[in-house]
Every structure is written in structure tokens, then in C-alpha cells.
Structure 1
């Protein structure tokens, strides 16, 4: 028996807008007197907008100065900057191997889902011309808990009508890998520094259906490294 579904994270797996997030957060933080660099920004990978803001405020020693309304305004400012930066996004921003993998999965009747904490995910998929490729996309606004909690992947499985044990999740962030593993799915990590992924790849260019099928046939807790 093969897997019934593949559920993708968005940023760092389908496309890479991490640098745009960094630019938007850096500008927002600077506006309240907090400096963040690329090293600090790496801590924000894979977590929600409000959790990212909390870490920035803690980093700058200003968490006590901003109530819920003020934080909501800062988050909205960041998102507005990010949306402006997304204006130039098109199919050229799809990461290597992803278009081919989505086509191959569709041809085999394997369900395709998206599990992204980004509220901009629908707009990003539309800009990339990939909306029709996904059978189900989690509405992040309805989630109660963010990664590493498995809720987002369990919701995606439910939307695709597959059991977690029948699905593979693909992530580039440690919080995402932890969420996939906690859901009972099999995990594929993009990035050599990820811990606990069942299969670790250096690049999305290595992704293809035969590789996923070979991975599926291995023991669930085996961790493989492909360089």
C-alpha cells in the first residue's frame, strides 16, 4: 500500500518568501526601536505572526509596553509591508522540483494538501498559479494552536479525508517537523539541520514520487539522509 496524501508547508517548501518576511519584520521592529538581524530572524521560521511578534518584543525588552490592541496593530503593519513585497511574486518563485512533483502526485490520484500558518497562503498560491493543484488548504485563521502542535496537519488530513497514518508531510522548519511527527504522519524535512524527520533532503529539487515511495516502504521511525 502506498501513501494516500502529501501535505506541504508553504514557505520554504513550495516557494521561499522568508527574505520578504524578514524585511517586513525588520522594518516593523525598527519602527518601535528594536533591531533584529538575519540570525534572530531564523528563530521566527515556521511560527505564527503573533508568536513572531512576541519573540521580537521579548528580544527588545518591550513586551510589557504593548497590550493586545497595540500588538494587533503592529502585526497588521508587518503584514501590510509583507503583502506589498509579495506583489512581484509569480511562477518563477516556485522552488525547484515542486511543479513536477505536484503534477506527478495528481496523475497518480494522490491527494495534495497545504498546511501553512500564513494567512496570506491563498494569495500566494494564486500568484504562483498553483491554487488548482491543492485539494485542500487549511484555513489558518480557524486554528487554535500553531506548530509544533499537530492541529494544522490533523486538520489537513481531515479535510482530505485521509488518516494521518496514510499521509506524508513536507516541512522546512523544526516546529513543522515536530508537528508532523506528533500528528502520526510520516515526515520529510527540507534542510540538513532538521531533527527527527523520517527523511531529510538538502533541497526540494530532490523531491519526486519514486523517492517518496521508497521512503514510504521503510520503517516509520527510520531517519534517512539524502545528500
Structure 2
């Protein structure tokens, strides 16, 4: 696909626009400690990209305690994590934007590309406001409207719909295995942003600092040539 045929850009939030996952991990570490469950590097690696419910399930399963909490107790713990996380959100500023993101957003806006935020976080709008990016992201998927969390495609299908765009003609930017799976399931051209491998992504950059329209053009050109040789 050529860049001029792209109908929109769909952004994940945590790990793509801001390094918010560090705050979620800090909140979940507190939860694990309160539940007397050991916090491990494996949990820190597994949780990014997961929903709040899936994160708690993963923490419990890591200690073979999947059935430990009754439904009301489970909800109380996830609500507690959200409250802890919101304390971090309240302290966020534009300085929390990841390197290169502001310049890339400016390029997209100047070129006339519509943008949408494809985050499953119920705190997404508050985070965007704290980051000072509300002028870029007036279209934010309401997380509470989603039937299924990532890796289901719901959030990316909804984001493309906000742009009145075909998801197959949208570029999605993701930083986790779960997020890449969701974007690919929706049919999006997916660029992974991570130092660790994201094998399902159509292309991968190690950092948001590498993002530019010229880079996206090169990625799309390589994908087009690859398709032509099949």
C-alpha cells in the first residue's frame, strides 16, 4: 500500500504515546504484595497489553490461586488497582510523552491524516488530557463500549469506525504481543514499537524515536514489494 492510500492512523496509548505501563506495573506490584503473591520478572513481562481483569487473573494464576477470589472480591481488587493507577495519572504531564511522538503527530496532522486512539483503558481520555494531546485525539474509543479486550480486534474495529475508515487501510501502532494480535485481527497494517520481538507485526521499530512519515513510507513500500513477490 502507498502512503497516500492510508485512511488513518490508530494509536495504542500505553507504551506508544506514553510510558504508562510502568505505572500499571507499579500498581499491580502493590496488588500482588497485598495478596501475598510474589512479584516476578515474568509477571512484569506478561501483563503489558492485558486488560485489568486478565492482569489479575494472570497474577493469581502465577501462584496457582486462580479460584481464590469470589466475583465481588475480584471486582474490588481490580477497582483498587484502577484507583492506585489513577493516582499516577493525576501526576502525568506532557513530559511523559515518549520520544518522537509529538513530532510524528505533528507530521500526520500537517499531512491531513485522521487519528484515533485505540486504547482499551477506561482512563484513556484523562491520560490524553494530562499529556496535553487532546487536540490530536478528539476521537477516542470508549473502552466501556467494547465487548472484548485485546487480543480481540474490537478496539481497532471501533477506532477505524470513528474515522469512517476501512481498518485494512489504517496503520496501527502497538507495543505488545497482545496489542499487535488485536490490530492484526482487525486487518490493520501494524507497526510494532518494542526492542523485544513482535513477530506478528508487519514491521517493527525499536523505539518511538524512529517514527516519521518517511519511515512509514519505507515500511509500506517494503510490504507492497513483499506482496508483489508472493
What TM-score results when the alignment is normalised by the length of structure 1?
A: 0.93
CA distance in 2, matches of 1:222, 1:67: 51
- Give the alignment partner of residue 25 of structure 2, picking from 22, 26, 29: 22
Residue pair 2:150, 2:178 contacting (<8 A) in 1 also? yes
**Structure 2: which 5+ residue stretches go unaligned?**
none
Residue pair 2:89, 2:126 contacting (<8 A) in 1 also? no
User: What is residue 91 of structure 1 aligned with on the other side?
Assistant: 94
Displacement after TM superposition at 1:35 (Å): 1.6
- CA RMSD of superposed structures (Å): 1.6
**Structure 1: which 5+ residue stretches go unaligned?**
none
Aligned residues: 223
Q: Do structure 1's residue 81 and structure 2's residue 81 form an aligned pair?
A: no
Displacement after TM superposition at 1:103 (Å): 1.0
User: What is residue 103 of structure 1 aligned with on the other side?
Assistant: 106
Displacement after TM superposition at 1:217 (Å): 2.9
Residue pair 2:6, 2:171 contacting (<8 A) in 1 also? yes
- Give the alignment partner of residue 216 of structure 1, picking from 210, 220, 227: 220
Per mean C-alpha deviation after superposition, the further-off stretch among 163-172 and 30-39 is: 30-39
User: What is residue 211 of structure 2 aligned with on the other side?
Assistant: 207
CA distance in 2, matches of 1:179, 1:27: 28
Counterparts in 2 of 1:155 and 1:221: CA distance versus 1, 3 Å: farther
Residue pair 2:157, 2:186 contacting (<8 A) in 1 also? yes
**Cα deviation 1:83-117 (Å, max 9, x = unaligned):** 11223210111001101111111111101011111
Q: Do structure 1's residue 63 and structure 2's residue 94 form an aligned pair?
A: no
Residue pair 1:5, 1:162 contacting (<8 A) in 2 also? yes
Displacement after TM superposition at 1:39 (Å): 2.9
Aligned residue for 1:96, secondary structure, equals coil
User: What is residue 128 of structure 1 aligned with on the other side?
Assistant: 131
**Cα deviation 1:111-137 (Å, max 9, x = unaligned):** 101111111111110000001201411
Aligned residue for 1:119, secondary structure, equals coil
- Give the alignment partner of residue 141 of structure 2, picking from 138, 141, 144: 138
What TM-score results when the alignment is normalised by the length of structure 2?
A: 0.92
User: What is residue 162 of structure 2 aligned with on the other side?
Assistant: 159
Displacement after TM superposition at 1:221 (Å): 9.1
Displacement after TM superposition at 1:205 (Å): 0.3
User: What is residue 151 of structure 2 aligned with on the other side?
Assistant: 148
- Give the alignment partner of residue 39 of structure 1, picking from 11, 17, 42: 42
Residue pair 2:128, 2:137 contacting (<8 A) in 1 also? no
